[in-house]
Amino acid sequence: MTNRAASNTTTTNNRILWMAFLGLLMTNLFWAINAILARSYMPEVAPIAMNLFRWFGVFILLTPFCLPRVIKNWAMIRPHLSALTGLAILSIVFYNSLLYLAANFTTVVNITLINTLIPIATLLMAWRVLGNRPRLMQFLGMVISILGVLLILTKGQLLHLLSLKFSQGDLLMIAAVVVWALFTVLLKKLSLKLSSINVLYLLIMLGLPFLIVAYAIEAVFFKFYLPSFEHISLFAYLWVFPSILAYIFWTNGVLRLGAESASLSITLMPLFGAVLAIVFLDESIFWFHIAGGVCSLLGMLFALLPANKLAVLFKFNTQARGMSKS
């Protein structure tokens, strides 16, 4: 009975880890499709408008579940309102708006590849803000990852760095990466005993007023857009998959597999983005895209997976082998 109970426990744990791993795969697929949709719908949908109506829809969907919890814990939340507002501006307002703006000027492949710098940028930001000095291997990982992005931005001609002119979209995505890294580091400093989905709800609630102001400016000076019935499928996808489900899957992946392994999964986004862009947008893939992606992956391995943490990523494989032997 003891062996059977242990076997059942191992099976359950193995299933939980595999579900967390698959959740991270789905998260990066959802985010890659988000970039595809941003690129394909930009001629019709203004970028700030897309961001506003995305998060407004998520806010409506989450309100019945999250608002009662927020009201119940308001006394605990109120002292952190200023910090939460700053985090909302960084994440809900700036990061997603910058991504959608970038989609006007660069390819999905570039968007997803530059996005893989997020873990490295977070590492550097944690060093600057929290004083967490990177290790030698982390420095090496940063150099390799930055090399990968430079290969993409220079189209494989690194000597062109001396006269390099970044595209607007590439610069916007680099700014988005910096913003998200700062958000991640500052979020770590905030000790708020609420579930992740309730924190997301608070960030949306506090970020929406700023998004409405940005939307008004966009509508008056650049392009006015209101959602139409023909775009309902677009926003339905944005509400559910890259927002709510991706957030839940990502949080679960961090909890079950560790932050390092979850961050490493971001390197899968360019793969999904490239395949989708080739199929749906007729974008081309060149050798420097592949080389840049490989550099990003190697950089993540060096920077985020020192030898003593490799077992975290491959824990589910070890358990699977143990199960097969028994």
Q: Is the pLDDT of residue 282 over 80?
A: no
Average pLDDT over residues 236-245: 93
DSSP symbols for 304-326? H--GGGHHHHTHHHHHHHHHHH-
* Buried residues in 266-302 as b, exposed as e (16+ CB within 10 A): bbbbbbbbbebbeeeeebeeeebbeebbebbbbbbbb
Question: Are 306 and 137 within 8 A, CB to CB?
Answer: yes
> The tokens of 67 are what?
């608002």
pLDDT value of position 64: 96
Question: Are 24 and 247 within 8 A, CB to CB?
Answer: no
Q: Is the pLDDT of residue 9 over 80?
A: no
Q: How far is CA 115 from CA 35, 176, 178, in A?
A: 11, 8, 10
Q: How far is CA 208 from CA 52, 124, 138, 249, in A?
A: 7, 29, 36, 23
Percentage above 70 pLDDT, the chain: 73
Query: Tens digits of per-residue pLDDT, 30-78?
Result: 998 998 888 888 888 999 999 999 999 999 999 999 999 999 999 999 9
Query: Tens digits of per-residue pLDDT, 168-224?
Result: 898 999 999 899 888 888 887 776 778 889 989 999 999 999 999 999 999 999 999
pLDDT value of position 308: 45
DSSP symbols for 154-207? TTT-GGGGGG----HHHHHHHHHHHHHHHHHHHHHH----S-HHHHHHHHHHHH
Average pLDDT over residues 98-125: 83
Q: Is the pLDDT of residue 130 over 70?
A: no
pLDDT value of position 235: 94
Between 73 and 9, the higher pLDDT residue: 73
Q: Is the pLDDT of residue 237 over 60?
A: yes
Rounded to whole angstroms, how far apart are CA atoms 180 and 55? 17
Between 200 and 305, the higher pLDDT residue: 200
Mean of the per-residue pLDDT values of the chain: 79
Rounded to whole angstroms, how far apart are CA atoms 18 and 140? 30
Average pLDDT over residues 221-249: 91
Least confident of 47-61, 118-132, 178-192, 298-312: 298-312
The structure's pTM equals 0.78
In the block, residue with structure tokens 């109120």: 78
